[in-house]
Structure 1
Amino acid sequence: MDIQFIRRLAELLEKSAIDEIEVVEGESKVRITRHAAPIVPQNVTYHAQPAPLPAMAPESIQAPAAAPVAAPAAESAPQGYMIKSPMVGTFYRASSPEAAPFVEEGSIVKAGQTLCIIEAMKLLNEIEADVSGKIIKVLASNGQPVEYGEPLFIIAPED
């Protein structure tokens, strides 16, 4: 593949609503992806202004109640590099029902290694690791529908 062809693909991606283009030509393979920042809905809460309190004599003022005991800290999520779904589809951990999963928790992966398949519109899309490291957590279940931007794997990048 020549550089002009790749540039034309990139221009096509910019001018269209397509998020990803992948071309395989013999042993050559090129994938161009546009990752737009996901739109995060803003939660807005409106509070009514409290009504003024009636005036009280100083002897009727009571000491403030003891503060409630803080809730125990929530279990922290594993830290690491998150691989997110680039599309809406169905998540598969293996290439077929009889095959072993591409990766397991604790597996060491290299950048570009296939982690899973997402089926979208009858097409099987291989999802590859962006970084090399160790799989800390597999967040999606086999056969589960996934949304764009949904976390699939957490990887501890190698140093």
Structure 2
Amino acid sequence: MDIKEIQSLIKFVAKSGASEVKLETDDIKITIRTGSLVGNSEPTYVHTMPMSQPAMQAAAPAQAEPQIASAGATDAEKKIAEDAKYITIKSPIIGTFYRKSAPDKPVFVEVGDTIGTGDVLCVIEAMKLFNDIESEVSGTIVKILVDDSSPVEFDQPLFLVDPS
């Protein structure tokens, strides 16, 4: 399936009003999701994954996987328990994450800084617009989860804050 066929499929799905369409062939898998927002256009997401691996090769790593997962399960559970007491500040938009307003300026916050409601934590650039991301909570920055100048997705965790 070439790109023009995929584009025409996206247009067809958008016009049809369907919320999700999945198409699988021997060589690719496509999922098209549309989300209707009141008064806004419908965004379309396309995920393609090659499926050319034989089933025998996929089965062998799956047998070894549970052993690795069970060994690391206690570490993962401890991390989840530790992070549960913190508040996660998430990205409200898609864009590029910046820790400072300009290359020659200091960063907005560091690990260990005390923040208050309304303090600017970072800037996210979206479509050539720089959006200040302000804190909705007070507390202490425990961890910065994103590297400077990295792309971020909607609802992606950016900071962990200890509210105490």
Structure 2 length-normalised TM: 0.54
Question: In structure 2, what is the equivalent of residue 71 of structure 1?
Answer: 71
Question: In structure 1, what is the equivalent of residue 88 of structure 2?
Answer: 82
Question: In structure 1, what is the equivalent of residue 105 of structure 2?
Answer: 99
Aligned residues: 96
Deviations 1:85-141 (A, max 9, x none): 011100000001111110000000001100000000000000011100000100011
Q: CA deviation at 1:15?
A: 4.5
Question: In structure 2, what is the equivalent of residue 114 of structure 1?
Answer: 120
In 2: Cα distance, 1:83 partner to 1:112 partner: 13
In 2: Cα distance, 1:150 partner to 1:16 partner: 25
Q: Aligned match of 1:146 in 149, 152, 155?
A: 152
Q: Which runs of 5+ in 2 are unaligned?
A: 1-36, 42-66
Question: In structure 2, what is the equivalent of residue 31 of structure 1?
Answer: none
Runs of 4+ in 1 over 4 A off after TM superposition: none
- Taking only aligned residues, the RMSD between alpha carbons, in angstroms, comes to 2.2
Which letter does structure 1 place at the counterpart of 2:100? A
Higher-Rg member (1/2): 1
Q: Identity across aligned pairs (percent)? A: 43
In 2: Cα distance, 1:16 partner to 1:127 partner: 24
Which letter does structure 2 place at the counterpart of 1:84? K
In 1: Cα distance, 2:39 partner to 2:107 partner: 35
SS at match of 1:74: helix
Larger helix fraction of residues: 2
Which letter does structure 2 place at the counterpart of 1:133? G
In 1: Cα distance, 2:120 partner to 2:159 partner: 12
Question: In structure 2, what is the equivalent of residue 16 of structure 1?
Answer: 39
Q: Which runs of 5+ in 1 are unaligned?
A: 1-13, 19-67
Which letter does structure 1 place at the counterpart of 2:71? A
Q: CA deviation at 1:16?
A: 2.4
Question: In structure 1, what is the equivalent of residue 13 of structure 2?
Answer: none
Structure 1 length-normalised TM: 0.55
Q: CA deviation at 1:147?
A: 0.4
